[in-house]
Amino acid sequence: MTPDIVTVLGTAGGTVVVAFAALTVAGVVLLTRRARRTAKAPLPGRTDAGVALVRADDAVRAAADDLAFAVAQFGEDRTRDFSRALEAARADLDKAFALQNRLDDAEPEGENRRKGWAKSIRALADRARETVQAEAARFADLRRSEASAPETLKLIRAQLSAVETRTPAAEKVLADLRKTYVESAVAPVADNIDAAVKAVAAARTAADEADAAIAASRVTAVSDALDTAQRRGREAATLLDAIERRRDELAAAVAEIATLAAEQQKALEQARALRDAPPDPDSSAAVNDAIAALESELAAVGGAGRRDPVAELDRLVDADDALDVAVSAARNQQRRLDGARGALAGALVSARAQISSVEDFIGSRGGGAGSRTKLAEAKRELVIAENESDPVAALDAARRAQNRARDADDLARYAGR
């Protein structure tokens, strides 16, 4: 029964009197603490901006899968607007991640500017999300009609069968990877087969539910079941793709190690000549230490048993980089550029492998705004490295891409615990 309005107001009035007295006393305490609390508080809007970024990134990832499915079902002509919307959303998201990275790096900017960045991040992220979700919803409506539901279900089941057909080959690939490489090298995709099998099973269950709903003319149930079947089927395919991609990445790292090792032998010969005829004793000592470190890494490459070529490549690149730094102190600028060119190819392969690995992890298991921002920054640095004409600057960018990708991986795995 609704209370009488007079009674409510009377009770509220008494409460206000008591509360006012308490607040008068508490106010003094609160004022003394406000400065410390304000100093420790996050920048207003940053949390909201991060949430908006995660939501937008998830929406864009899902929309990319939705577009591929829509193209298969409706053709490229009918999905052209969806494709344009996805590109526009990705552009907005790239800008938002760039701003988020500036906030995360705590650049020495004024508070008003940082508040403006946070506001821009939310606006860009919301626009990206809303853009792709509107297009995705339009095609979801097309699929949800009873008329197209059987066709959609047929396509989904065909895709699930294709995933199941790929599974034995993916199992063999994974088994071969485990025989050849150490556990840490295979870890990013170690449980992908089991996860893919579960995803396919869930997708088939949803497809059966959709079939039953179609027969009973329950449109809403059909829609939900089709969406679930499609989403889980995409997840299974992505997991199997990641296994094959990891195989290719590790093979590329092995090939690059051989190429880099040959180049480093030449670099060592030149460094030894410089060490034996140094411009000064300090340069000789620095070059000698770098030579010893690189020789040690080369001796350890491809040792007995399983290996981690990505880690080996990282260490070789690091040692080569250290040698280049030591030699550069005693060489002219041109020789320094030559050394950077020798290390760049390996750094790029390593950066690409690390970026791809964390991309797969976030795509299949999720991640917070911090990991996604670091991943976006790693991609940006990789683009700079790939397009930079100055090999020294390109190598620096590639190394930054590696570091950002490592940070993104750490943050994503921490968030996923």
Residue with tokens 């790693």: 378
**Contact at 8 Å (CB) between 80 and 115?**
no
pLDDT of residue 377: 95
Q: What's the confidence (pLDDT) of residue 18?
A: 34
6/75 Cα distance (integer angstroms):
66
C-beta pairs of 314-318 under 8 Å, 24+ apart in sequence: 314/350, 314/402, 316/257, 316/260, 316/261, 316/264, 316/346, 317/260, 317/343, 317/346, 317/347, 317/350
Instruction: Pull the structure tokens for residue 96.
Output: 């938002």
Nearest-10 Cα torsion for 303, 309, 311, 316: 80
List C-alpha distances in Å: 254 to 215, 247, 280, 303.
Answer: 54, 11, 38, 13
**Is the whole-model pTM more than 0.85?**
no
Distance CA 180, CA 304 (A): 11
158, 292, 293, 337, 340 from 329: Cα distances, Å = 62, 17, 17, 12, 14
First to last CA, the chain: 48
Query: 259-277 burial string, b = 16+ CB within 10 Å, else e?
Result: ebbebbeebbeebeebbee
Q: Is 183 exposed, middle or buried (0-12, 13-18, 19+ CB in 10 A)?
A: exposed
pLDDT at 267: 85
- Give CA–CA dist 369/46, Å, rounded: 11
CA separation for the pair 121, 94 (Å, rounded):
10
Report residue 406 as tokens. 């490592």
Return the exposure string of 127-140: e unless at least 16 CB atoms fall within 10 Å of the residue's CB, then b: bbbebbbebbeebb
Q: In 10 A of CB 84, how many CB atoms?
A: 12
Q: Residue type at 138?
A: R
Q: Are 199 and 239 in contact (CB under 8 A)?
A: yes
| The three-state (H, E, C) secondary structure of the chain, written as one string | CCCCHHHHHHHHHHHHHHHHHHHHHHHHHHHHHHHHHHHHCCCCCHHHHHHHHHHHHHHHHHHHHHHHHHHHHHCCCCCHHHHHHHHHHHHHHHHHHHHHHHHHCCCCCCHHHHHHHHHHHHHHHHHHHHHHHHHHHHHHHHHHCCCCHHHHHHHHHHHHHHHHHHHHHHHHHHHHHHHHECHHHHHHHCCHHHHHHHHHHHHHHHHHHHHHHHHCCCHHHHHHHHHHHHHHHHHHHHHHHHHHHHHHHHHHHHHHHHHHHHHHHHHHHHHHHHHHCCCCHHHHHHHHHHHHHHHHHHHHCCCCCCECHHHHHHHHHHHHHHHHHHHHCCCCHHHHHHHHHHHHHHHHHHHHHHHHHHHHHHHHHCCCHHHHHHHHHHHHHHHHHHHCCCHHHHHHHHHHHHHHHHHHHHHHHHHCC
Residue 247 structure tokens: 């195989």
Contacts of 194 (CB under 8 A, 6+ apart): none
Q: What is the mean pLDDT of each run of 10 residues along the chain (417 residues)?
A: 36 36 35 37 58 90 86 81 91 89 69 82 90 84 68 89 93 92 91 95 92 72 82 92 92 88 86 75 80 87 77 87 82 66 89 91 86 93 92 91 92 78
